[in-house]
Structure formats: structure tokens, C-alpha cells
Amino acid sequence: MQLTRRSAAIGLGLGLTACGRSEPSAADAPPQGSLAWAIAGPWRIDPERDQWRHPLQTLLFWGLQGDMTVLEIYPGLGWYTSILAPYLHANGGRLIAASFDPRANSVAQRETLAAFRSRFSEDEELYGDISVSAVTSSGAALAPANSVDLAILSNNVHTLMAAGIAERVFAGVRAALKPGGAFGIEQHRASSTGLQDPLAGTGYVQEAYVRALAQEAGFEFVAASDLNANARDSRDHPFGVWTLPPTLRTSPLGQEEDPRFDTGPYEAIGESDRMTLKFRKPSAGAPAAQQNR
């Protein structure tokens, strides 16, 4: 079933209330194929996180439409993929997932990629045919040049920084986007004071640093939103951002969990304070001053 942009958008407002109910009636269920329908679906991964991640508002802020070609960088196990794939498939769009390199030395990364492939290949009628590419240290193309309407990088700028490939991947995103295409970023937000750790060891990144990465890659800044902000997050946690939900780490990475560690205060904080940013690849023929601002 395919919907036009207009009919898919109409379903958003109708489905807002239904998204918050555990057992919506047929009368108030979101129209099939709408973004609200994709968010309310039983195929979702960890929908309880919506209270912190606000997928409907975030995706609308980034400008998602059903017939777009979307590039998702580092989808992990597919939290956003479980929304994007059904929605795009129902509306004639296309999803490209740029995930971990299958030749990576990290066992965890290879296992995550395998789990992603297994999950999203089991129901092509729902998810469609997701194209999978790899984020590599060699800078291989994430998607064909000038083919993508919207690229999404959610809570993984720090992962790119730790691997030393942030600048390369940002440039790759720009190459993949069509002129005028959008780049949506969500990221754990560090305090604006002090120096940014170039490896982002705590998982937090300063907003100014992310904006500078995007600007250096040739993007125009469009807008910022605090819809995923959390004022309770002090950012000062013993095991970085992973001390907070959903990870609730109780010991340093690589060590056994500490059953004596009290996660209660961190559960009360909730998920991290996050920036939500939108950038744009300059349109073809844009004045140089505009492209570099």
C-alpha cells in the first residue's frame, strides 16, 4: 500500500493520541502507512523509550516524508529502523542503513550487524528491501552520490569520534545527499564549557563541536531543537552516559557488573540530555558565501 505525502501526513495528527494508548480502538488507530502508524506498530523496538526520544516530533523536525530516500548511519539494532522501514516502504520511499563494517575486529559490532540483518530481513512485506552499506575507515561511499533526501545520525557522533572517522563520515554524508538534502543529528550533549575530548570518552559531545564538524564538511546549519533535552542530566556520571538508561552500566566497560552499584538515582534522571540538530547540503548553484557560512 502506497500513500501520497499528503495522505501520509494527515495520519500524523490523527495518530498522536493513539500512540500513547496501549490498546487503541479501530476508530482512533493511526491510518495505515502514516508515520504515526509506523510508530504505534507492534514491530517496534523498545517503544517505552519514546518518552525520552520523541520519534514523531524528531522525525518531523528533520523533515522526513514517506517517499524519500533516507540514509541511517549506525542504526545499531534498529531502534529508528523499526519506524523508518515500514513507513518508507508503505509510501514508496527507500531506506539505506550504513552500519558496522562486517570485517571489523569488534565482535560486538559484528554481532550487532548480524542481529540487524536477521531482524529486518525476516519480513520484507513490512520492512521492504533495506539496502545495507558499511561505515569503513577507508571512507567507502555510504550511498550513491547525490541520491539521498535525508540522512540521520542518532546518538553516534561520539562513536565516530572514538574511531577517528567523524570528519570522513560527515563528508561521506554530504556526498550522498542530494543538493538541498537534510542531515538530522541527535547526540548526547556535553556542557558547553571546557575542552571537548576528541575521543568523546564519556559519550557526550559539545553542541558547538558537532556544528563545527558539520560546517567543516560543507553543511549549512538549519535549526536546533530542545525536544530531546533533559535538564536533570548533570552529565557527571561514573561510567559516562552509559550510567543512565537504557544501559545502566554498573562498572567500567569490560568489567563484570557490580551488584552493589545503586542505579536508582540514574533511573530517576532518565535518558541523557540531547541536542537535536538539522543541517542542509547547499543547493546546486548556491553562492559561495552561503555555502560556507
Domains annotated for the chain, with CATH where assigned, are 9-42 (no CATH), 47-235+272-291 (3.40.50.150)
Question: Which 8-state DSSP code applies to residue 189?
Answer: B
Residue given cell 560556507 in the structure block:
292
* Winning range, highest mean pLDDT, from 1-15, 131-145, 273-287: 131-145
Residue 176 near residue 148 (C-beta atoms within 8 A): yes
Residue 38 has pLDDT above 80, yes or no: yes
Of 175, 169, 179, the C-alpha closest to 149 is: 179
Amino acid at 165: I
| pLDDT at position 27 | 66
Average pLDDT, the chain: 91
And the C-alpha cell for 227?
525536544
| pLDDT at position 71 | 99
161-159-104 Cα angle (round to 5): 105
Q: Is the whole model's pTM more than 0.95, yes or no?
A: no
Residue 35 near residue 66 (C-beta atoms within 8 A): yes
Residue 277 has pLDDT above 70, yes or no: yes
Q: Cβ atoms within 10 A of the Cβ of 243, count?
A: 21
Residue 22 has pLDDT above 80, yes or no: no
Amino acid at 53: R
Least confident of 20-29, 135-144, 210-219, 284-293: 284-293
Per-residue pLDDT tens for 113-170?
A: 999 999 999 999 999 999 999 999 888 999 999 999 999 999 999 999 999 999 999 9
Residue 271: CB partners within 8 Å, gap ≥ 6?
49, 52, 53, 230, 244, 245, 246
**Which has more pLDDT, 28 or 60?**
60
Residue 15 has pLDDT above 80, yes or no: no
In the predicted model, what is the mean pLDDT of residues 202-222?
Answer: 98
And the C-alpha cell for 292?
560556507
Residue 245 near residue 188 (C-beta atoms within 8 A): no
The Cα 236–Cα 170 span in angstroms is: 28
Residue given cell 538508561 in the structure block:
245
- How do the residues of the chain divide into helix, strand and coil, expressed in percent and rounded to 5? 35, 15, 45
Residue 5 has pLDDT above 80, yes or no: no
Residue 80: CB partners within 8 Å, gap ≥ 6?
55, 72, 152, 154
**Which has more pLDDT, 20 or 286?**
286
Of 207, 12, 147, 187, the C-alpha closest to 91 is: 12
Q: Cβ atoms within 10 A of the Cβ of 254, count?
A: 5
| pLDDT at position 79 | 98
Q: Reading across the β-sheet that carries 131-134, which strands appear in turn? A: 131-134, 94-99, 69-73, 148-154, 177-188, 274-280, 220-225
Per-residue pLDDT tens for 181-195?
A: 999 999 999 999 999
Per-residue pLDDT tens for 252-268?
A: 999 999 999 999 999 99
| pLDDT at position 138 | 87
